[in-house]
Structure 1
Amino acid sequence: MNDFQKYLSTAPVLLTLWMTFTAGFIIEINRFFPDMLGLYF
């Protein structure tokens, strides 16, 4: 279990999770506010 926790705290795993979250956030913003060039709300 300790090795698994160490694996989850490595940079590629954290980068993948962060990029997935960011991409999902941007997709959802564009779904509710289409054709926005910036976040002006």
Structure 2
Amino acid sequence: MADFIPHTPSETREMLKEIGVDRLEDLLAPYPKDHVLPDLSDIP
């Protein structure tokens, strides 16, 4: 199966529905925020 990268909001909703979550936040909830989005404050 080829990787699917959604490009539109409806494609994103379709992908999340296939994964079994309603929102992207639900998919990322088990992970600490700093693992998902690192702190970029030290980058000039």
TM-score, normalising length: structure 2: 0.31
Higher relative contact order (CA 8 A, sep 6+): 2
Q: Which has the higher helix share?
A: 1
TM-score, normalising length: structure 1: 0.32
**Structure whose CA Rg is larger:** 1
